[in-house]
Amino acid sequence: MRHTFAVLVENSPGVLSKVAGLFSRRGFNIESLVVSETEDSSTSRMTIVVEGDNRVLEQVGKQLNKQVDIIKVNDITHEETVERQLCLIRVSADQSTRQEVLQITEVFRCRVVDIGRKSLIVEATGDETKMQAIIRSLRPFGIMELVRTGKVAMIRGERNKGK
Partner 1 sequence: MKNGAQYIIDFLLKKEVEMVFGYPGGQILNFYEYLGKSQLKHVLVRHEQAAAHAACGYARATGKPGVCLATSGPGATNLVTGIADAYLDSIPLLAITGQVNLNDIGKDSFQEADITGIVTPVTKHSYLLESLETLPEVLDEAWQVATSGRPGPVLIDVPKNLFLAEGEMTDSRQTLHTRKVKKADRTEELMPEIMEALRKAKQPLILAGGGLVTAGACGLLIKLVEETGIPVVNTLMGKSAYPADQPLALGMVGMHGVAAANLALSSCDLLLCLGTRLSDRITGNRRQFLEEACIIHVDVDAAELQKNVDANYYLQLDARIFLQRLLDEGNFKKNGDIAKWHQQISQWQQDYPLPTTFDGLLKPQEVILEAARQAGSQAVVVTDVGQHQMFVAQYYPIGRCRNFLTSGGLGAMGFGLPAAMGAAFGRPEEDVLLFVGDGGFQMTLQELATIREHNLPVKIIILNNSTLGMIHQWQNVIFKKHYVASDLPALPDFAKLAAAYDIPAVTAAKREELSQVMEFVLKTKGPVIADFRVDGEELVLPFVLPGGKPQDMLGRWQGETHLRSFSRK
Between 48 and 64, name the residue whose CB sits nearer to partner 1. Answer: 64
Structure letter (DSSP) for residue 79 = S
Residue 29 vs 42, nearer CB to partner 1: 42
> Which residues bind to partner 1, rule: CB under 8 A?
10, 13-14, 17-18, 21, 25, 58-59, 62-63, 65-69, 71-72, 162
d(CA 85, CA 127): 6
CB of 23 to partner 1, least distance (A): 12
Q: Considering the complex, what minimum distance in angstroms separates the CB of residue 58 from partner 1?
A: 7
Min CB(161)–partner 1 separation in Å? 10
Spatial separation of the C-alpha atoms in residues 12 and 70, rounded to whole Å: 10
In whole angstroms, the minimum distance from the beta carbon of 68 to partner 1 comes to 4
> What three-state secondary structure class fits 41?
coil
Q: What angle do CA 47, 43, 158 make, to 5 degrees?
A: 65
Nearer to partner 1, 27 or 162 (CB): 162
Nearer to partner 1 by Cβ, of 25 and 109: the residue is: 25
Instruction: State the nearest-atom distance from the C-beta of 146 to partner 1, in Å.
Output: 33
Is 108 exposed, middle or buried, given 0-12, 13-18 or 19+ CB atoms closer than 10 A? middle
Closer CB to partner 1, 36 or 59, in the complex: 59
- In whole angstroms, give the CA distance from residue 101 to residue 91: 8
C-alpha R_g of the chain: 19
